[in-house]
A = this chain, B = another copy of it.
Amino acid sequence: MVGTVGYDTIETATGSREGILGGSATYFALGAGFFWPVSMVAVVGRDFSPDHRQWLAERNVDLRNLTVGEGPTFRWQARYDATLAHRHTVAVQPGVFASYQPRLLPDQCRADHLFLAGLTPTIQGSVLRQTHRPRIVAAGTIEHSIADYRAELLSALTEFNLLFLNEEEALMLADDNSLLRAGRALLGRGPQVVVITRGEHGLWQFGADGIFVAPAWPLEQTVDPTGAGDAFAGAYMGYLARQGRLEPATCRPAAVYASVLASFAVEDFGCERLRSLTWGEIDQRYRDYLALTDQHRPRWIAP
């Protein structure tokens, strides 16, 4: 997976954290590592803490290609509104990420599964050209790149088997105000599966098997939604990598496991909850989710 590793400063109505470990690659890797080994392609500065490198290494994350550049680590500062539904980016200091050109290692070029976190279409293309036909190529988008590169992103959708975006991004990218139409339109642009995450309102997944709708795990309180989408994509891709194919029997449980991971991610600031999380907790919440959504289909309805 290719993405960002950085230090985040996050303010919500209930608290704040300064300079905590973040970045799309971090959340993705923490989510994926529960299911399958992850090999990370990213850059940090000389100020990156050896402790943080150690945290990731202990979580099934291969860091051979987490390169150290000349300059400071990527930094991002954001503030959420009281409902946590909207966030405002206060400051971005790209640091070493500004001039970063990902170079995959030989074994990474031959990976079966590739995830590109919200990168510019140019960098996405440069990474894709280094690979040798991965079985599944997935991308996550960020609002910023949709605003600046909408046409390029749309025409690049044929390159992806799987696309992850949130509701706002899907509406913006499809330029529609109906999520149903937006999802169908994006699916028609090339990907085999389009996964639209809706935060506390669950997810809509569009694929060859039609639409899959799943509610979110109900939480009393969300502490910090940062990284939930990346942890979701990580768990989803990790599950796919473990199970094999891009088919309904795999993509639907992948989406449910991904929702479970995301529900943990938002329980604390940054990646604090993902760091303390155990497989036992994931397994329990997955089973609880099945019970919570069990419709007790009447016997007289054919399966």
Contacts and interface: CB of A to CB of B under 8 A. Distances in A.
Interface in A30-66: none
A297 B290 contact: yes
Given A181-B220, A218-B180, A220-B181, A212 B290 contact: no
A298 B214 contact: no
Contacts of A98: none
Given A290-B295, A293-B295, A295-B293, A211 B218 contact: yes
Contact of A211 (B221, B286, B292): B292
Interface stretch (A107-115, A121-129, A249-257): A249-257
Interface residues of A, number: 37
Interface in A266-303: 286-287, 290-298, 301-302
A227 B295 CA distance: 24
A97 interface: no
A27 interface: no
Interface string A136-175: 0000000000000000000000000000000000000000
Contacts of A301: 286-287, 290
> For A214, A292, A294, A296, which residue has the most chain B Cβ atoms within 10 angstroms?
A296
Nearest to A250: B296
Given A252-B295, A252-B296, A213 B220 contact: no
A213 B217 CA distance: 9
A294 B178 contact: no
A179 interface: yes
Given A179-B218, A180-B219, A220-B180, A248 B293 contact: no
A289 to B, nearest CB: 9
A218 to B, nearest CB: 5
B210 A178 contact: no
Interface in A16-37: none
Interface of A: 178-181, 201-202, 204, 210-215, 218-221, 243, 248-250, 252-253, 256, 286-287, 290-298, 301-302
